[in-house]
Amino acid sequence: MKQRPAADLSELPTFGLGPRSPTWWGTLAFMALEGTGFALAAGAYLYLAYVSPEWPLGVPPPNHWPGTIVTLLLLASVVPNHILNRYAEACAMVPVRIGLIVMSLLGIAPVVVRWFEFPALNIYWDTNAYGSMLWVLLGLHTTHLITDVGDTLVLTVLMFTRHGYSGRRFGDVGDNVFYWDFVVATWIPIYLLIYWMPRLD
Amino acid sequence: MSSADLAHERDLAQQGAAARKGDLAPERDGPRDTGLDDASLDRRLARTWRTPPGIIGALSSVDHKIVARRYLITAFVFLCLAGLSAVAMRIQLSGPERGLIGPDRYNQLFTMHGVTMMFLFAVPIVQATGIYLVPLMVGTRNIAFPRLNAFSFWIYLSGGLFAWVSFALDMAPDVGWFSYVPLSGPEFGPGKRSDVWAQMITYTEVSSLAVAVATIVTVLKQRAPGMSLDKIPLYVWAMLVTSFVIVFAMPAVMITSTFLILDRLVGTHIFNPAEGGDVLLFQHLFWFFGHPEVYIIFLPATGMVSSVIAAFARRPVFGYLGMVLALIAVGFLSFGLWVHHMFATGLPKLGASFFTASSMLIAIPSGLQIFCWLATLWDGRPIIRTPLLFVFGFFFTFVAGGLTGVMLASVPLDLQVHDTYFVVAHFHYVLIGGSVFPLLGATYFWFPKITGRMMSERLGRWHFWFAFIGFNAAFFPMHIVGLWGMPRRVYTYPVELGWGNINLFITAGAVVLFLSFVLFTINLVYSASSGAPAGDNPWNAGTLEWATSSPPPSYNFARIPVVTHAEPLWAERDTLPVATGLRVDARELVISTVAEAHPDVREKSAPPSIWPLFAALAVGATFLYSIFSPWAVVWGAGPIAITLVGWFWPKGDPEDEE
């Protein structure tokens, strides 16, 4: 077919941040599908609690302190996370590097405390269905936590190389901030389900 | 697009340029397409967008058309395998007490038939059609996240090989395609057969979730300038809604299969009633996926029907807005029906009534689509060619299947015919009628675009009549034998029941249906090598995939089209308005705004890479190992992490910077 020029795109920018970038939408879609997974796992837990005559099944409720410490660490990390986002939007290299180091440390800290959450559940996965669901919920979130911390570490290294001076890499930092928010947000209902629902009478 | 819109776009561009600040390397510019003559433009784009030569090059390809072609061929092979297993079952059932296949092999056969048709054929082939067509129809140069797309194919291929190698080793799943506990659980499912089911699910769902994400972002962000929401082709709308359904439904089956494998492998008790678990939880989780699954297969087919009908009725589909709203309504409602698969489990009456009502409700948007198509044909000047014949076959078959569906939505009838051949007849009418017939029509319709050659019309008509008659001869009597009480999934039946003659008739019908696929295969092979040359737009259709050559070049469009109408090629019959200003030495495409499709960013599309294959190998090996040991997750994490870093680490291509 013959063509006739009708629009000139030559002056368009070569990257866009946030919702202007396809990666942001991809991240959002992955959050939607992983969030569905979280919701269904939580639904399965509530379903079993509902059909079971007693809950928790035969053991005392978990010790909530390691979980509470993780919750506080995660909530505290949201503030530097969004400060980092602001610098990423401004494409300011030095503060972004500092922010990424801070966020790496604030990511590793809850992983370390998470290690102590599993024994604090007071039950093994193969004891009964209640124990299975606690380990599943905690395991599901831990997978996301470790994955995002790994992602943050790689991105931190990347931003210290010459490849960092690129709009797309600053966009990646923004998307990492966005995903960390998701990791924190999904933890809150899981935390309540694991530690506080068994304490409801 | 009016000139005011274009002025607005220029403003947008200048803002973008002015916003370039901060610690960024100076923008490396390259030659643009503005003012280039056609020959040199084609030459330079071909060099930039080509898939590298050689075996490594082929394994690195990220071209959506090449990946889609691989998907289509692989899915066709799985269709043949699943079809042959159906033929084997029909021969066994053609008379009472035949000894061709024993009960154990029969169990594996019907399970492999079901999982292959659902997970390795139906879903992958509708998604693959989308991988090929959606980027062309929205006027872009590649799918979003092309490496994720390539990765999804390798994962899909390994999942399919894994299942069929297991079958060859006599360890294929034998518990039915939905693999209910406790039959599939640790107590009653010894060996590795149910684990094969569970991990086959994981492979295929990872792959189809990846494609769904890529499709959603392609439709939302990569539409050609001017293709606002009300100008998106109905097929693309169908793929968008389908992809959303996948995003919210597929995690359910991944959760189900993961719970099952945990119960089997590490001794959790999620589905074990003796320790506080629950078997019905499995069914709830499975069907929360399983019912939307039907619409994942059906909705893309409605999109294909809309494309075929518009092209052959010579007018746009009647009631565009109603069609789009019906697609979205079906997408939502598909999540509200899952319990009607569980009416025989003794649910509370109120729950059953609710799901009866919602199951009948979905007939409304589905019916609305049918009436819009009929109105289109009524008002148009239909030209009856093979694709349209298959659409007529679809109308008849799908409506018949829909009617038995409304019957089955009522609890008393459902209880009576539960697990009988009536249900087998119903879902084959819906699935083959609702999806395979449109797919066959779509093959005849888009084959010229993919290969550059027409399929034989004469063979096509023979194919249609064999398929239509064979299908109805095979499946209609199943309604009757089901009402007589013949249960599904039995490997034989005694003479005294008197089901022999009707089963022989069914088998004869199945053989005719099988022969129709032989004709189809001959037509495909013959036409691909020596069909009549097709030209760019053999059907004079109106959507953008027909604006480029057949087969399309690696870069799809020499210049990105500017869209002014829902059927752009009918609105602009002589010359296509296009956009200029993109680089020709780097893989640049246009990112546009979600609703209005104003051009917003010149984004780089990822170049070919071998890393998605490596990542798929690492992920696949982890899944395989996890059948045998939970430590697979630990040992697999390292290789997966390494391959993902290799995948994302910039290599210094022009596409990596900016």
The verdict on residue B654 lying in a domain is yes
Does the pLDDT value for residue A74 go beyond 80? yes
- B18 has a pLDDT exceeding 80: no
For chain B, the average pLDDT equals 93
Backbone angles phi, psi at B192, to 5 degrees: -110, 5
End-to-end CA distance of chain A: give it in Å, rounded.
Answer: 73
Cβ–Cβ gap B602/A93 under 8 Å: no
CB-nearest partner of B657 from A13, A92, A166:
A166
Please tell me if residue A118 touches chain B, with a CB cutoff of 8 Å.
no
In a domain, B514, yes or no: yes
Flag if A163 and B657 touch (Cβ within 8 Å): yes
CB atoms within 10 A of CB B179: 25
| Residue B384 vs residue B21, higher pLDDT | B384
B547 assigned to some structural domain: yes
pLDDT at B359: 82
- Alpha-carbon span B46 to A188, nearest angstrom: 51
CB atoms within 10 A of CB B69: 18
- For chain A, helix (H) and strand (E) counts, in that order, are 5, 1
pLDDT tens digit sequence for B395-453: 999 999 988 988 888 888 999 999 999 999 999 999 999 999 999 999 999 999 999 99
- Taking contacts as CB-CB distances below 8 angstroms, the residues of chain B near A93 are 22-23
> Between A7, A14, A52, which is nearest B579 by CB?
A7
B30-55: pLDDT as tens digits? 889 988 899 999 999 999 999 999 99
Q: Could you give the angle at which helices B64-93 and B146-168 cross, rounded to 10 degrees?
A: 20
**A residues 149..188 contacting B (CB < 8 A):** 150, 154, 158, 162-163, 165-170
Q: Does residue A13 carry a pLDDT above 70?
A: yes
Q: Are residues B403 and B490 in the same domain?
A: yes
Q: How would residue B178 be classed by pLDDT, with cut points 50, 70 and 90?
A: very high
Contact B499/B481 with Cβ under 8 angstroms?
yes
Q: Among candidates B644, B308, B240, B81, which has minimal Cα distance to A151? A: B644
Q: At B5, is the pLDDT very low, low, confident or very high (cuts 50, 70, 90)?
A: very low
Beta bridge partners of B580: A8
**Where are the alpha helices (H) located in B266-317, listed in sequence order?**
279-313
B503 and B551, same structural domain? Answer: no
Distances (CA, A) of A77 to A191, B127, B458: 16, 39, 68
Domain count, chain B: 2
Examine residue B559 and state whether it is found in any structural domain, yes or no. Answer: yes
Q: Are B456 and B531 in contact (CB under 8 A)?
A: yes
In eight-state DSSP terms, residue B460 is H
pLDDT digits (tens, 9 = 90+) for A18-65: 999 999 999 999 999 999 999 999 999 999 999 988 888 888 999 999
**pLDDT for residue B574:** 83
Give the residue from A12, A127, A179 with the most B CB atoms within 10 Å of its CB, the best one to mutate: A12
Q: Is A69 on the interface with B (CB under 8 A)?
A: no
Do residue B141 and residue B219 come from a single domain? yes
- B450 with B478, same domain? yes
* Helical H segments across B30-119, by residue range: 38-49, 54-60, 64-93, 103-115
What number of other Cβ atoms are within 10 A of residue B530's Cβ?
Answer: 9
- Same domain? For B199 and B57 the reply is yes
The answer to whether B259 contacts A168, with C-beta atoms less than 8 Å apart, is no
Residues 17-36 of A with CB under 8 A from B: 19-22, 25-26, 29-30, 32-34, 36
How close B352 comes to chain A (CA, Å)?
Answer: 18
Whether the per-residue pLDDT at B111 is higher than 90: the answer is yes
User: What's the pLDDT at B163?
Assistant: 96
CA neighbor of A46 nearest in space, from A133, A148, A114:
A133
- Asked if residue B173 belongs to a domain, the reply is yes
pLDDT the model gives residue B91? 97
- What is the structure's pLDDT at A62? 94
CATH number at residue B217: 1.20.210.10
Amino acid, res. A113? V
What is the predicted pLDDT for the residue at B10?
Answer: 40
pLDDT at B362: 87
Residue B142, domain member (yes or no): yes
pTM: 0.95
B9 — pLDDT class (breaks 50, 70, 90): very low
Distance separating alpha carbons of residues B608 and B183, to the nearest angstrom:
45
Structure tokens at B425: 């007849």
pLDDT in tens, B529-547: 999 999 999 999 999 999 9
Confidence band of B317 (pLDDT split at 50, 70, 90): very high
Q: Please tell me whether residues B83 and B188 are part of one structural domain.
A: yes
* Nearest chain A CA: its distance from B215 CA (Å): 10
- Nearest CB neighbour to A163, from listed B9, B285, B650: B650
Looking at the structure, tell me whether residues B495 and B568 fall in a common domain: no
Residue scoring higher pLDDT (B602 or B654)? B602
- B572, B506: one domain: no
How does residue B20 score in pLDDT terms, banded at 50, 70 and 90?
low
In which residue are the tokens 């053999």 written? Answer: B538
pLDDT tens by residue, B205-214? 999 999 999 9
**Residue that wins the pLDDT comparison between A43 and B352:** A43
Give me the pLDDT at residue B658, please: 57
Prior bond of A56 cis (ω within 30°): yes
Sign of CA dihedral A87, A93, A99, A104: positive
B541 shares its domain with B522: no
- In this structure, the answer to whether residues B484 and B558 fall within a common structural domain is no
Q: Mean pLDDT lowest for which of A7-16, A90-99, B463-472? A: A7-16
Measured over the CA atoms of residue B649, residue B143, residue B78 and residue B80, the dihedral's sign is: negative
Output the pLDDT for position A48: 95
Domain boundary among B508, B526, B544: B526
Structural domains of chain A sorted by starting position, each given as residue range(s) with its CATH number in brackets: 33-199 (1.20.120.80)
Q: Check whether residue B512 and residue B605 sit in a common domain.
A: no
Structural domain span for residue B468: 397-526
**Which residue among A4, A20, A94 places its CB closest to the CB of B601?**
A20
Please say whether the dihedral angle defined by the alpha carbons of residues B556, B561, B567 and B572, taken in this order, is positive or negative.
Answer: negative
Q: Is the distance from CB of A175 to CB of A31 less than 8 angstroms?
A: no
Q: Is residue B66 part of a domain?
A: yes
Q: Which residues contact B209 (CB under 8 A, 6 or more apart)?
A: A33, B246, B247, B250, B251
Is B320 inside any structural domain? no
Measure in Å the smallest separation between the Cα of B486 and chain A Cα atoms: 35
| Greatest C-alpha distance within chain A | 77
Domain identity same for B227 and B176:
yes
Give chain A positions within 8 Å (CB) of B580: 5, 7-10
**Closest to A130 in 3D by CA, of A71, A57, A189, A81:** A57
* A41 contact B CB<8A: yes
Residue A46's closest chain B neighbor by CA? B281
Mean pLDDT value across residues B456-468: 97
Q: Which two tokens stand for residue B250?
A: 């597929």
Which residues in chain A are contacts of B23 at CB distance < 8 A? 91-94, 165
CB count in 10 Å sphere of residue B579: 28
CA distance B94 to B507: 6
Task: Indicate yes or no: CB of A7 within 8 angstroms of CB of B657.
Answer: no
Return the number of CB contacts < 8 Å for A and B: 244
